[in-house]
Copies of this chain bind each other. A is one copy, B any other.
Amino acid sequence: MRVYNFSAGPAVLPEEVLKEAADEMLDYRGTGMSVMEMSHRSKAYDDIIKEAEKDIRDLMNIPDNYKVLFLQGGASQFFAEVPMNLMKNKKAAYIITGQWAKKAWQEAQIFAGDGAVAVASSADKTFSYIPDCSDLPIPEDADYVYICENNTIYGTKYKTLPNTKGHILVSDVSSCFLSEPVDVTKYGVIYGGVQKNVGPAGVVIAIIREDLITDDVLPGTPTLLKWKTQADNDSLYNTPPCYNIYICGKVFKWIKKMGGLEAMKAHNEKKAKILYDYLDQSKLFKGTVRPEDRSLMNVPFVTGNADLDAKFVKEAKAAGFENLKGHRTVGGMRASIYNAMPIEGVEKLVEFMKKFEAENA
C-alpha cells in the first residue's frame, strides 16, 4: 500500500511514472536493455535526453536563447558554479530568505569574500516572510542578484521577483520547479535540484541565458563546472545521470498530460487552499508564514506545544501520513505538497488534523 508522502525532498512522484519505469526496467521499448544499461552515446538514449529537453522547453516556454543543462552535484554544487561562471567583478547581491540562500551566499564568499553582499534578509523573524525587494542596495557593479525563490524549510515564496535594477537574476527554484508558469525571460539563470518536484535526486536542471555561458570563468574552475563545457556538449561532456534524466522526462510527459503548468498551478493552488483555509480557522494549528508570502509547495505549521507537535507527527505517521515533522530550525510540522501529491492526500490530511484537533482541544 502506498502512503501519503509529505517529504520535503526527495519526495512523492506520480504513481504512473513509477509504474512505467517498473514496466520498462528490463527492456526499454524493445531495446532489450534497461535505460540504466544504455550507452549515453546510443541512439536510444539520445532520443530520451533530447525529448526530455524538448518537453521541459515546451512546458516552461523556454526561449531559444536559453540553454537547458542537465548537471550533477545538487544545488549545493551549483552554489559554487554561479560565482565561478558569472563573477567578472567579484561582486554579487544575495537576498537571504533561508538556509539555502544563506549557504549559496557563503559559497560565493569563497570566491569573492566581502564582494558577495547580503542586500536583504528575513532572518529576524526566522525567515517567515519575504523581504521587500522593491528598492534594495544592489551594488552597481554586481555581477548578479541571487534568490532562492521558494524556501523549502520555511514555506515562503516570492510572489513578485526582486527589482534587480538591471542586473542578472539567478534563481534557485528547487522546491517550486514546474509548479506553476514562469516567465523565463526575467531570469539570467533558473536552476534547481530535481528531487523535490521533478525526479530522482542526482540531477540539477539549469536554464541559462546563452550570453552568460562563456569561457570567461574564474581561474581554477574545473572543466565540468564550467557551463560552457556542458552547453557545448549538450550535457553529454561525460556520462550524465542517465536514468535520473529518463525519469525526469517521464515527469515532464505526465505534467503535459495533466495540462501543463497552468493546470499544475490550479491543482497546486487548490491543494494549498484546502490546507491553509483549515489552518486559518483552526484553534490548535497555526501556519508560521506571513499569509502573502506563503508557498504552494511547503506548508509549515505548529501547535505551539512541542509535545503536542510530536504526538501529532507520531499519530499521523501511524495513520499513513509520512514525513510531516518540521525542519529542526522551525519546529512543529511541515507538509510538502508537490505536484505529485494528489488532492485526496491533502483532504485526508486535513480530515486527520480536524480529528486530532477535536481529540486534543
User: What is A's interface to B at a CB cutoff of 8 Å?
Assistant: 1-3, 5, 7-13, 15, 18-19, 21-23, 25-27, 31-34, 36-40, 42, 72-77, 79-81, 84, 107, 110-111, 193, 195, 199-203, 218-225, 237-244, 247, 320, 322-323
Subset of 25 A-B contacts with CB under 8 Å: A2-B26, A3-B31, A7-B38, A10-B40, A10-B239, A12-B37, A18-B25, A18-B36, A19-B25, A22-B23, A36-B199, A36-B201, A72-B72, A72-B74, A72-B77, A72-B202, A74-B239, A76-B224, A77-B222, A79-B222, A201-B242, A202-B241, A202-B243, A202-B244, A243-B243
A76→B13 contact, CB < 8 A: no
- A240 and B32 in contact, given A37-B11, A223-B107, A224-B74 (Cβ under 8 angstroms): no
State in angstroms the CA–CA spacing of A110 and B225 once bound together: 13
A80→B224 contact, CB < 8 A: yes
Q: Of B36, B195, B218, B322, which contacts A239 at CB under 8 A?
A: B195
User: Residues of B contacting A40 with CB < 8 Å?
Assistant: 10, 201
State in angstroms the CA–CA spacing of A238 and B13 once bound together: 20
User: Residues of B contacting A11 with CB < 8 Å?
Assistant: 37, 39
Tallying the copies of this chain within the complex gives 2
- A111 and B72 in contact, given A195-B239, A241-B244, A242-B10 (Cβ under 8 angstroms): no
User: Residues of B contacting A220 with CB < 8 Å?
Assistant: 110-111, 218-220
Closest residue of chain B to A320 (Cβ to Cβ) is B32
A323→B39 contact, CB < 8 A: yes
Q: Of B9, B38, B244, which contacts A244 at CB under 8 A?
A: B244
State in angstroms the CA–CA spacing of A323 and B8 once bound together: 40
B10→A37 contact, CB < 8 A: yes
Most chain B C-beta atoms within 10 Å of own C-beta, residue among A22, A37, A224: A37
Min CB distance A330 to B, Å, is 15
A26→B15 contact, CB < 8 A: yes
- A25 and B25 in contact, given A72-B202, A74-B72 (Cβ under 8 angstroms): yes
A237→B22 contact, CB < 8 A: no
User: Residues of B contacting A203 with CB < 8 Å?
Assistant: 202
User: Residues of B contacting A22 with CB < 8 Å?
Assistant: 22-23, 25-26
User: Residues of B contacting A219 with CB < 8 Å?
Assistant: 220
Q: Of B32, B34, B77, B247, which contacts A13 at CB under 8 A?
A: B34
B239→A241 contact, CB < 8 A: no
B5→A76 contact, CB < 8 A: no
State in angstroms the CA–CA spacing of A80 and B23 once bound together: 38
A222→B10 contact, CB < 8 A: no
User: Residues of B contacting A244 with CB < 8 Å?
Assistant: 200, 202, 241, 243-244
A76→B26 contact, CB < 8 A: no
B322→A32 contact, CB < 8 A: yes
State in angstroms the CA–CA spacing of A323 and B81 once bound together: 35
